Amino acid sequence: MAPPQGGPSLALHGGAGRRVRLTPAGRASYAEGLLAAYRAGWEILAAGGDALDAVCASVEVLENDPLFNAGRGAALTATGQAELDASVMTGSGLAGAVAASKYAPNPVRLARAVMEYTEHVLIVDPDAAFLERYGIEPVERDYFVTEQRRQQLERVADGRHGTVGAVARDAGGRVAAATSTGGMTGQVDGRVGDSPIVGAGVYARDDVVAVSCTGDGEAFIRGVVAYDVAARIRYAAADLAEAVQGTFDQELTARGATGGLVAVGGDGRIVVAHNSPAMFSARGTGPGPALTT
């Protein structure tokens, strides 16, 4: 847990799950991806930019990196296709999300378009014309499919689920969160997890907290995990670490579910937590983040 401070804060995750046995080179590749995503967000915050711009920039980098389960290289459904979910939320209460997205190279950008340009919050299975309406160039569905994910689908083995996300507090005290995922390897076509569900996989409220989650999606939906953290702070006066621990104990661990989250409080305090064996993450209040791979 990082202490409170008055400047910007940024934290991101690259998915929680089983402990992955990585070679030194493999670990370095994940670290490089996390660092690139952190730098993209931090450059915006350091220049006085908005928290929403920062979290979207960080998540887009992870969506473009085939190592992570979002965007290109995302997990595949039972029929070998990519169906992507993403969401964004600002501390002022605005939110946008997409589920079962098939044509957006960066689903987080599409989720932001839903928030900024429509009267809706969640759009399911948007077609290519919907993307083009908001200036997003669609891609063919095979763009997302990598050989590594094809092999993983055949095994349905380690790393069955994973998600990427980011939270930030900017110099003006505003907070924002974004989450993006390909879901679970081998999931039924049409399955939607917590990532695009406001209050489950993502939540933000100024002066309280911003949260992005990863893990067993159904448990995060049932426990409304992201909002539960915020409610403990807002209504029970819990500090951020206490709120996260209480939510994990009651809504995840007690139910036999695993996962993790990154959170930034209204005071800039950062918490990175998981009850799974591992979680990729980066966090900091300056250009040099702390990395977990």
Q: Give the per-residue pLDDT at 160.
A: 53
190-234 confidence digits (pLDDT tens)? 999 999 999 999 999 999 999 999 999 999 999 999 999 999 999
Per-chain mean pLDDT for the chain = 94
Residue 291 lies in a domain: no
Residue 89 sits in which domain range?
9-285
Residue 251 lies in a domain: yes
Residue 290 lies in a domain: no
Q: Give the per-residue pLDDT at 159.
A: 47
Rounded distance between C-alpha atoms, residue 28 and residue 33, angstroms: 9
Q: Give the per-residue pLDDT at 158.
A: 47
Locate 139 and state its tokens: 């891609």
pTM for this structure? 0.95
Tell me which residue of 2, 29, 10 sits closest to 293, measured CA to CA. Answer: 29
CATH classification of the domain holding 80: 3.60.20.30
| SS3 state of residue 201 | coil
Residue ranges of the chain with per-residue pLDDT less than 70: 1-5, 18-21, 156-161
Tell me which residue of 250, 77, 249, 270 sits closest to 167, measured CA to CA. Answer: 270
Catalytic positions are: 163
3-state helix, strand, coil in the chain (%, to 5): 35, 25, 40
Pairing status of strand 175-181 against strand 164-169: antiparallel
Rounded distance between C-alpha atoms, residue 88 and residue 94, angstroms: 8
Rounded distance between C-alpha atoms, residue 112 and residue 135, angstroms: 12
- Per the structure, the count of domains in the chain is 1
The DSSP bridge partners found for residue 89 are 95, 177
Residue 2 lies in a domain: no
122-137 confidence digits (pLDDT tens)? 999 999 999 999 999 9
Q: Give the per-residue pLDDT at 156.
A: 58
Residue 292 lies in a domain: no
Residue 58 lies in a domain: yes
| DSSP annotation of 248 | I
Residue 279 lies in a domain: yes
